[in-house]
Amino acid sequence: MNSLTPNRRAAYVEQPKKLSPTFYRTARACTINPAPHQVCRNSWACRAKQKKTISIGIVGGKRRRGQRKTRSKRRRKQRVFEPSTTVAPAAPRPANTTVTAPHPPPAEEDFVTVISKAAQRRAKALAAAAIATDPAVAGTVLYRPSAPGGTFKGSPRLTLAAAFAVRPDVVAVRISHRRNIVAADASTQPCLSELLTIKELNGIPVTARVPADRRTSVGFMHGVDGEPSDKQLLEGITSTVPVVAATRQGSTVRLQFAGSQPPERVSLCGIWLRVRHARPRPIQCRQCGRLGHITEACERVGNCLTCGQHHQATAVCRPRCVNCRGRHAADNPTCPRWQEERRVATLMAAAPTPLSRRAVKAAVREESREVRSYAAAVKTNLPESDTTDPGLQRPIPAPRRSLLLPASSPISSPPAAPPAEPSEDPRDALITSLLAALREVGNYLPEGHPMRAVCLQAAGVQPGAPRKD
């Protein structure tokens, strides 16, 4: 107090004491309502307003701290829109008397064929699968054993290749034991002619031939009656693709076209007949049913085509494909793997250039890949009794102990398990339930209803219904 100046000491002394907020809420008038009255204690807005306006007075007549400085608002005069009278009214627009010429129809070059990304990838894979041909090769000769059951399986590759070492014009030799075939490439036409005259390789009788020309295709025409000769057929056929040869085999005519793809139809003496394209069959062993090798190169003797196991010919087995694990025989054309191999063989045969089988197979698998549903997975999976792997079998639950003991003895051993019975076909239970439902529907319908007789006859209640022997 002694350190203050006289002026500040006077201001400090004259400043009123700080009062509690309750005093200000009760002493000041409400600023929300215009009428003078005490502060509304029940109004939250009034109390909030009073808190903002409460301040401590300062000697000197200055504006209290916390009080907002306000001024009157200036309101602008509202502008009234008055249209100008000096602007002349706009003249009406003249009618469009020009005649526009109709647009010409779009040309074929204006359209672009849209190809999906998956198709683009497959086309790129097939383009990359082409095998580069050696321009020095004049031709190729294929050798197969001519004797029934003949095979190159017991002959080493070097021994078979040594048979062509005496001919310097032989460029390369390729041997496939799985397909039981030997291929030799010649660089000159005289050497190619000499290779076609070979009748024996390493003591094995063989047949030499030239591979099929990729620039030609084969089709079949069915339902040809009469007795026309091959020459008459060739002269009477009219086709968009030139026909090279026509060979009759009963009521079927084999046609060879000078093109990579045969036409859909040909005209024979003015009659249009459909041409079925020759689709190559996949290479499949007739001994074990597996794809990729022939019977002469198979090492699995006596395997069943139906189940893929080795058992007696009189044994009863369940169908189980060794290629796709489906519930069908291995030689069934509906097998997905069989269809895949046929697609690969068709693409390789129709290609104008040699293709890599591995690359084509990868492209076909990518094409046939699809999202499998639960129903499709259950349909193709094996039943529990078909698998022999103990890790894949479901454990057999233990027999439950009966709560009621026999009356003969209070404690006795559980009865022996009954002999295992063959599992019933679920289709029989489904048929039984359907017949019961038809019988109930027939009894529910009135006598004169036309569907009553149909339901009862289908359920086997009325005479004339089919019965099981």
So where are the chain's domains? 6-53, 139-209, 217-277, 306-380, 432-469
- Strand 265-268 relative to strand 271-277, pairing: antiparallel
Distance (Å) of CA 92 to CA 82, 86, 89, 95, 207: 24, 18, 9, 9, 96
Residue 140: is its pLDDT beyond 70?
A: yes
Handedness of CA 196, 202, 203, 205 (dihedral sign): negative
Architecture of domain 139-209 in CATH? 2-Layer Sandwich (3.30)
Of residues 361, 370, 369, the one with CA closest to residue 126: 361
Helix (H) or strand (E) segment spanning residue 35? none
Give the tens place of pLDDT for each residue, 290-327.
Answer: 888 888 888 877 788 888 888 887 888 889 899 888 88
Residue 88: the pLDDT is: 59
Among the ranges given (197-211, 414-428, 434-448), the one the predictor scored with the smallest mean pLDDT: 414-428
Report the distance separating Cα 468 and Cα 47, nearest Å.
Answer: 96
Distance (Å) of CA 37 to CA 56, 232, 247, 462: 21, 127, 123, 102
Give the tens place of pLDDT for each residue, 49-98.
Answer: 555 444 444 444 555 555 566 666 667 777 776 665 555 566 666 666 66
Report the distance separating Cα 351 and Cα 187, nearest Å.
Answer: 23
Long-range contacts formed by 7-11: CB under 8 A, 24+ apart: 11/59, 11/60
- Token digits of residue 74: 């200036």
Segment 37-45 shows an average pLDDT of 50
| Cβ pair 296, 150 in contact under 8 A | yes
Segment 335-359 shows an average pLDDT of 84
pLDDT mean across residues, the chain: 72
**In 134-143, which positions are buried (b, 16+ CB within 10 angstroms) versus exposed (e)?**
eeeebbbbbb
Full-model pTM: 0.49
Residue 59: the pLDDT is: 44
As a whole number of angstroms, the longest Cα–Cα distance in the chain is: 147
SS3 at position 130? strand
| pLDDT above 70 as % of the chain | 65
Give the tens place of pLDDT for each residue, 144-175.
Answer: 988 888 888 888 888 888 888 888 888 888 88
